[in-house]
Amino acid sequence: MSLPHRLECRGLAKRFGPVDAVTDLSFDVEPGRVTGFLGPNGSGKTTTLRMLLGLVRPDAGTALIGGRAYRDLAEPARTVGAALEDTGFHPARTGRDHLRVYAAMIGCPDDRVEAVLELTGIADAAHRRTDGYSTGMRRRLNLATALLGDPPVLVLDEPTNGLDPEGIAWLRRLLRGLAAESRTVLVASHVLSEAERLVDDVLVMHHGKLVAAGTLAAITGGDTLEHAFLQRIGALA
Ligand SMILES: Nc1ncnc2c1ncn2[C@@H]1O[C@H](COP(=O)(O)OP(=O)(O)OP(=O)(O)O)[C@@H](O)[C@H]1O
């Protein structure tokens, strides 16, 4: 793994027709922390992640990973591991073959495949076709794919979707372990009650704007994140 990477977004904006998906958005995400990128459905989280990953061109602003735009990274797959959605598995491939194909694409040795299968707890199912995987197993395979390049940065969109409580506890341990290795871990979620059990820092979005940023403790002040969020958007008197 290369040096720790800070994420820096400055003045990001994106409009889709009449919809301001993201407006003048600036924030930093620090290495060595799990940062929750939170907010309700449609608040602009995925659009921001897609701008960070070079999948959507911003109308304004910059999104940098270790000081570089995604398109300027020398080894993108070894710098950023992204799990945005559960698509992209060939249904007739086994989990192991899916990972081997991806490993060959990014120039990773096959022993990384076995390592990420172990790390994500799906080694026992690795010989099975992915069309027989449960939603939770697909989340794990998606995460395994993101981890293949041993990246210093992880960007995960709704990683708890489809995980049972035991799976969420497992994910918490995994993300904490990755952050403890000085990785930068950014996790988008609309489920505040789940997210607050996973993260150190929070960025809270509402209608394409950042309404709160800081450590979880500072934002919640000992209350729930949901209560703090409703207060920030003025939904509580
Ligand atoms: N390709 C697109 N074309 C048109 N509108 C879009 C497009 N992508 C996003 N939007 C709109 O931009 C806004 C922000 O969407 P975005 O997916 O970024 O939010 P989100 O916070 O990730 O939501 P969710 O939690 O549902 O994933 C929404 O109003 C959405 O409908």
ipTM value greater than 0.90: yes
Does 45 sit in the ligand 1 pocket, CB within 6 Å?
yes
In a domain, 199, yes or no: yes
pLDDT, residue 236, reads 54
Q: Is 14 exposed, middle or buried (0-12, 13-18, 19+ CB in 10 A)?
A: buried
Low-confidence ranges of the chain (pLDDT < 50): 237
Does 207 sit in the ligand 1 pocket, CB within 6 Å?
no
In a domain, 2, yes or no: no
Nearest CA to ligand 1 atom 30: 42
Q: Which of 9, 19, 205 to mutate to test the pocket of ligand 1 (most atoms within 8 A of CB)?
A: 19
R_g (Cα) of the chain, nearest Å:
18
* Host domain of residue 212: 7-233
Q: Which residues contact 54 (CB under 8 A, 6 or more apart)?
A: 69, 70, 71, 76
In a domain, 15, yes or no: yes
Whichever domain contains 51, its CATH number is: 3.40.50.300
pLDDT, residue 32, reads 96
Write out the two tokens for 224: 């729930």
Q: Give every strand in the sheet of 19-29, ordered side by side.
A: 19-29, 7-16, 60-65
In a domain, 52, yes or no: yes
In a domain, 14, yes or no: yes
Give me ligand 1 centre to Cα 20, in Å.
Answer: 9
Task: Please tell me the total count of domains within the chain.
Answer: 1
Does 16 sit in the ligand 1 pocket, CB within 6 Å?
yes
Does 189 sit in the ligand 1 pocket, CB within 6 Å?
no
In a domain, 89, yes or no: yes
* pLDDT tens per residue across span 43-92: 999 999 999 999 999 999 999 999 999 999 999 989 999 998 766 778 88
In a domain, 18, yes or no: yes
In a domain, 1, yes or no: no
Q: Considering the entire predicted model, what is its pTM?
A: 0.93
